[in-house]
Amino acid sequence: MAAQNRLSRCLLFVSLSLGLAVASSPAYAADDTFKESAELGKRTAETSEQVDKYVAQLDKTEQALSSVSQAQDKDLKKRYQSFSKQVNSLEEAQKVAASDINEMKSKGAEYFWSWDKSNARITNPELKQASMERRTTVMKDYDELAADLAEIGRELDPFMSNLHDLRSFLGADLSPAHIRNANGVIQKSQSDARSLKQRIALVQTTLKQFVSEAPE
């Protein structure tokens, strides 16, 4: 909810500031900033889509791991192979999402730099001050979103490490007894997956709201 409130304020500030730029500075300066805002919206849409795909793959991986932990002798090989495949797919989904997040951050930096240029062309002191203050607030909200994404990113490394360890451990001795020995790590991985999905869900909502209100 806090992320949604920050984003709502962010979008309001962007709209108002673009209006100030149109009224108070050359048209090309406002157009540049508007275009940068639209580009940031497109990049955010792509990021939102890839984050959604990552979460969907996270679900599949968690389900495959649960299936392995409940398998009987005759099902072990097939279920283990499915789990191993889902781990590979999760890695790929993570790489794509991380790349899009980095691109979104880069586009965000370009947008705020363009906004700075628009502010520099505003001659009315009152409007200039108001636009600068709004830019500062918007940037703070955007940085908080980026920080949320970065914090989630830091949680992914130990989570993936456990999945890799489980794959190697189970692959060495695919037996019910060996699976029982891995039960603690399996349960932790499942718990971590659920926690990640809850954390990411807040960011997903924020990204989707931004996309729905960004200029096209």
Give CA separation, 204 vs 32, 64, 111, 144, 145, in Å: 28, 24, 21, 14, 11
Residue 22 scores a pLDDT above 70: no
Name the residue range of residue 201's domain.
2-213
Q: How do residues 96-135 score in pLDDT, each as one tens digit?
A: 999 999 998 888 888 888 888 888 888 998 998 998 888 8
Q: Is 197 exposed, middle or buried (0-12, 13-18, 19+ CB in 10 A)?
A: middle
Q: How many domains does the chain have?
A: 1
Comparing C-alpha atoms, which of 196, 199, 195, 168 is closest to residue 182? Answer: 168
Query: Among 8-22, 26-40, 178-192, which range has the highest average pLDDT?
Result: 178-192
Question: Over pLDDT 90: what percentage of the chain?
Answer: 44
Residue 163 scores a pLDDT above 70: yes
SS (H, E, C) 107-126: HHHHHHHHHHHHHHHCCCHH
Residue 172 scores a pLDDT above 60: yes
